[in-house]
Amino acid sequence: MKEKMLDFVGKVVFLTGGGGQIGAKTEELFLRQRAKVVSTDIDFPPLDDRVDFDANPLKLALDVTNKQGVQQLISQTVENCGRIDIVVNAAGILNIKPFLEISEQDWDRTFAVNVKGMFFVCQEALKQMIEQKAGCFVNFASISGKVGGVLAGADYSASKAAVICLTKSLAKVGAPHGIRANSVAPGAVYSPMLDLYYRDHAEEMKGFEEKHPLGRFGRADEVASTVLFLASDQASYITGACVDINGGTLMD
Ligand SMILES: NC(=O)c1ccc[n+]([C@@H]2O[C@H](COP(=O)([O-])OP(=O)(O)OC[C@H]3O[C@@H](n4cnc5c(N)ncnc54)[C@H](O)[C@@H]3O)[C@@H](O)[C@H]2O)c1
């Protein structure tokens, strides 16, 4: 059997949340493996007439909750890059409000970005992948979507549980067309935001990191490398899975 390596030469990757710490690391690893990366984020510069689709990475603004915007950018990507091989949905927002303080607006916004926006991207890219008869998705869930909020609110946790199931549905629909879909469920990852959380909840957080079987939180590159593995031919028989990346703090 031919050895299958992490080889992304000529592959077109469509990434959301590319401006975030994990998204940026994912973009970097794909570029190192010589993929073509269309990296999108709500904070990136807007699409205009001068967009150079030969740029790599190509960084473009996309608000995933804007269905028309998603359709337009995916169609422009296909027009200019010829195909979409891999979609990584890393865009997401976190809400850490206590259960009783979560407003209807909080709930709707969290679900709009984390679930509905992801659905728009998956639905649009799936149409293209069905034509190609190939492709794969890696969607960002969270350990919170399995156990209820760890450092996160109920709206965030529920949205990430929805991501796990959305991805399973996508995997079932895609499988007959040679398309795979998996989610990842990171635990806590070192970040400025985690530092802030520690600062504000020092007492409550005492011993939390040490309780992880591997004795520490995760790094963005450890999450990104799992994404690359799932997107690679080495994972050709993995679909519908939710892969834990949590240092052993949840084993299910
Ligand atoms: N960092 C962690 O500890 C952790 C743990 C579990 C799961 N996750 C998930 O991993 C993913 C990446 O996390 P991160 O730590 O890089 O977060 P991050 O906040 O650094 O990045 C998220 C990115 O999503 C973008 N975004 C927000 N709303 C958007 C919208 N409407 N349209 C497009 N982009 C939008 C933000 O601008 C940001 O760049 C998220 O889905 C997050 O929920 C993170």
Question: pLDDT per residue over 174-211, tens digit each?
Answer: 999 999 999 999 999 999 888 888 888 889 899 999 99
Mutation test of ligand 1: which of 29, 140, 222 has the most ligand atoms closer than 8 Å to its C-beta? Answer: 140
Domains of the chain: 12-188+220-244 (3.40.50.720)
pLDDT at site 160: 98
pLDDT at site 46: 82
Ligand 1 atom at shortest distance from the alpha carbon of 94 = 43
What's the 4 CA to ligand 1 centre distance in angstroms? 30
Residues with CB under 6 A from ligand 1: 16-17, 19-23, 41-43, 62-65, 90-94, 113, 117, 140, 142, 186, 188-189, 191
**C-alpha 43: how far from its chain's center?**
16
Least Cα distance to 240 among 129, 133, 144, 141 occurs for: 141
**C-alpha 121: how far from its chain's center?**
11
pLDDT at site 54: 94
What one-character-per-residue DSSP string does 47-79 give?
Answer: P-TT--TTSSSEEEE--TT-HHHHHHHHHHHHH
pLDDT at site 131: 98
For the chain, give the number of residues. Answer: 252
pLDDT at site 71: 98
116 secondary structure, DSSP code? I
Known catalytic residue at 198: no
What's the 23 CA to ligand 1 centre distance in angstroms? 7
pLDDT beneath 50, residues of the chain: 1
Mutation test of ligand 1: which of 189, 226, 250 has the most ligand atoms closer than 8 Å to its C-beta? Answer: 189
pLDDT at site 100: 96
Going by alpha carbons, the residue nearest to atom 17 of ligand 1 is 20
Burial 80-108 (b: 16+ CB within 10 A, else e): ebebbbbbbbbbbbbbbbeeeebeeebbe
pLDDT at site 3: 54
